[in-house]
């Protein structure tokens, strides 16, 4: 009978790797706490309509990547492909803006997109999302990006590049869009198949097409920064100004656009050369129209998502390893020793000390080998008849020196280990 395997693009994160995830999450939570960002936990399943309206009907995500199904109650549901729409839905549903229009929220969890898997891309992947709602001051944008850079640097990442652009707003982007369509109309035959299709749905995407001919064609086109309205220009200039004040290095990428429809004004991306083709570790931007679009009040917002899996893959293998705390292995010789070891081992664990032992009755050699494998700091050997008190030497594994103090009971041992 054939074995059952995991679903394509859905992977197990094995015990060797989970400490990395835990350490990163701990550090991030601490930083978010200091920046006044509170956690929100949202469902994995939402009504399909939420993403259609939020992300945009014509986007690749909605068009062909969502896990959508009809449930037994005949309702169209979707496993979330991203978190922002859900956070906004919750913000509106619970009238959070009534209590306090300003909300700084984060959420961590899995997202689902049915793409072809490759390096740094899975069908179930994990994101750390941050949303700042209720404020459109350019300082918010700068503060958000500065925190992000700080956070990634704190985690030990190097070679990061922050790129940003402005996408304009509802009033200036449509005009720019028309201009681009007009510009490309008579050059259509020089565009790739995808871009010709995009011309009708999302012509701005031609800007970041990787096809050479497309790049050449679009290079003469007006760029959005020359075209956006004075308000948007002002906002963008202030954002970059504040970034400079905060000493955050950045570069402007006039051709960067976003694949989700809700973005307005500030859009940014952080990339790393260490990631392969899927080089974006973070992406985000402002979405001043989204709250209203989803049925809430007119309320600005900005946010980002960190690709958790990609972030983890950039960290060294030993990241998050516990090295300091004591880790005891109890080896036994003989039946009666096992009995005493059993209760001592249990007492150690309840006293907050990591401890383990072997019940299989294997040779001492095998037990010691196991202790070594578990990377134990100390091995305690308990003999069958030696030492009336019942406990033999506590031995340090690392330098081989013996500590031959006989210990009378578990309490004395705990004290010894803790001193």
Residue 381 CB, nearest approach to RNA (Å)? 4
d(CA 368, CA 255): 61
Of 74 and 401, the one with the shorter C-beta distance to RNA is 401
Residues that bind RNA (CB under 7 A): 5-6, 8-9, 11, 59-61, 65, 82, 113, 115-122, 125, 127, 194, 198, 205, 208-211, 258-260, 269, 276-284, 304-307, 309-310, 331, 333, 362-366, 368-373, 381, 392-393, 397, 400
Of 102 and 405, the one with the shorter C-beta distance to RNA is 405
Of 115 and 351, the one with the shorter C-beta distance to RNA is 115
Of 100 and 212, the one with the shorter C-beta distance to RNA is 212
Residue 48 CB, nearest approach to RNA (Å)? 18
Of 260 and 414, the one with the shorter C-beta distance to RNA is 260
Of 41 and 373, the one with the shorter C-beta distance to RNA is 373
Residue 337 CB, nearest approach to RNA (Å)? 11
Q: Do residues 207 and 259 touch, judged by C-beta distance below 8 A?
A: no
Of 105 and 306, the one with the shorter C-beta distance to RNA is 306
Residue 214 CB, nearest approach to RNA (Å)? 8
Residue 401 CB, nearest approach to RNA (Å)? 9
Of 6 and 323, the one with the shorter C-beta distance to RNA is 6
Residue 72 CB, nearest approach to RNA (Å)? 26
Residue 245 CB, nearest approach to RNA (Å)? 25
Residue 74 CB, nearest approach to RNA (Å)? 26
Only one residue has tokens 């989204």, namely: 290
Only one residue has tokens 């925190």, namely: 147
């Amino acid at each position: 009978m054939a074995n059952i395997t995991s679903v394509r693009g859905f992977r197990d994160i094995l015990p060797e790797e989970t400490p990395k995830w835990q350490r990163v999450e701990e550090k991030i939570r601490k930083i978010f706490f200091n920046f006044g960002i509170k956690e929100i936990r949202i469902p994995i399943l939402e009504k399909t309509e939420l993403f259609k309206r939020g992300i945009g009907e014509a986007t690749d995500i909605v068009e062909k990547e969502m896990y959508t199904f009809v449930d037994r109650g005949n309702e169209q549901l979707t496993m979330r492909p991203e978190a922002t729409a859900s956070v906004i839905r919750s913000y509106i549903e619970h009238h959070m803006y009534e209590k306090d229009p300003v909300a700084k929220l984060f959420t961590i969890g899995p997202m689902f997109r049915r793409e072809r898997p490759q390096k740094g891309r899975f069908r179930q992947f994990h994101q750390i999302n941050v949303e700042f709602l209720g404020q459109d001051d350019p300082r918010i944008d700068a503060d958000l990006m500065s925190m992000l850079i700080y956070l990634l640097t704190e985690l030990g990442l190097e070679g990061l590049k922050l790129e940003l652009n402005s996408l304009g707003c509802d009033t200036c982007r449509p005009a720019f869009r028309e201009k681009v369509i007009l510009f490309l109309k008579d050059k259509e035959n020089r565009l790739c198949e995808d871009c010709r299709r995009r011309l009708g749905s999302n012509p701005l995407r031609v800007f970041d097409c990787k096809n050479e001919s497309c790049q050449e064609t679009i290079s003469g086109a007006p760029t959005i920064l020359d075209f956006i309205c004075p308000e948007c220009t002002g906002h963008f200039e202030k954002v970059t100004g504040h970034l400079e004040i905060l000493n955050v290095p950045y570069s402007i990428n006039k051709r960067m656009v976003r694949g989700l429809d809700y973005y307005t004004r500030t859009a940014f991306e952080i990339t790393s050369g260490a990631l392969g083709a899927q080089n974006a570790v973070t992406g985000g931007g402002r979405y001043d129209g989204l709250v209203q679009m989803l049925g809430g009040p007119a309320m600005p917002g900005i946010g980002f998502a960190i690709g958790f899996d990609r972030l983890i893959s950039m960290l060294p293998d030993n990241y998050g390893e516990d090295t300091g705390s004591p880790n005891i292995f109890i080896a036994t010789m003989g039946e009666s020793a096992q009995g005493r070891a059993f209760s001592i081992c249990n007492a150690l664990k309840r006293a907050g000390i990591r401890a383990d032992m072997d019940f299989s009755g294997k040779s001492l050699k095998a037990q010691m080998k196991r202790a070594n494998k578990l990377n134990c700091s100390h091995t305690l050997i308990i003999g069958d008849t030696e030492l009336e008190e019942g406990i033999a030497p506590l031995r340090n594994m690392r330098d081989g020196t013996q500590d031959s103090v006989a210990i009378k009971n578990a309490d004395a041992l705990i004290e010894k280990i803790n001193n």
